[in-house]
């Protein structure tokens, strides 16, 4: 069964993509041309341009942020929110099927 993840842009436009198990959510966005995920560092967690906002109902299903991710989230261009995550740190699993992520208004 394909793992589908939806990205919602700041203007409300929705884009559903098919994600590959074991790869990051960031790569699912990049591979499918999702506007708003820049991924300048290629997933090395050094740029924070793959910032996404996870809705509260999904937050507990994800692993906690590492201290490195916490530090990088302090550098996001858009204000950090309770559900802010770096999509390069979210590994696609079957349990993420149906996940909807909100994109911040800017990554720079």
**pLDDT (tens digit, 9 = 90+) per residue, 29-78?**
999 999 999 999 999 999 999 999 999 999 999 999 999 999 999 999 99
Concatenate the DSSP letters of all residues of 8-22 into one string: E-TTS-EEEEEE-TT
Instruction: Give the strand pairing for 84-86 and 51-53.
Output: antiparallel
Instruction: Give the strand pairing for 51-53 and 3-8.
Output: unpaired
The pLDDT, as a whole number, for residue 1 is 79
Question: What domains sit in the chain, N to C, each tagged with a CATH number?
Answer: 3-102 (3.10.20.30)
Beta carbons of 78 and 105 less than 8 angstroms apart: yes
Could you tell me the pTM of the whole model? 0.96
What is the chain's mean pLDDT, rounded? 98
């Amino acid at each position: 069964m394909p793992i589908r993840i939806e990205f919602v842009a700041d203007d409300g436009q929705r884009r559903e993509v098919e994600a590959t198990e074991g790869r990051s959510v960031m790569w699912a966005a990049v591979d499918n041309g999702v506007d708003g995920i820049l991924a300048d560092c290629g997933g090395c967690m050094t740029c924070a341009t793959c910032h996404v906002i996870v809705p509260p109902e999904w937050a507990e299903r994800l692993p906690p942020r590492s201290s490195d991710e916490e530090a990088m989230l302090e550098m996001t261009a858009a204000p950090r929110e309770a559900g802010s995550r770096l999509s390069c740190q979210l590994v696609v699993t079957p349990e993420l099927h149906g996940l909807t992520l909100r994109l911040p208004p800017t990554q720079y």
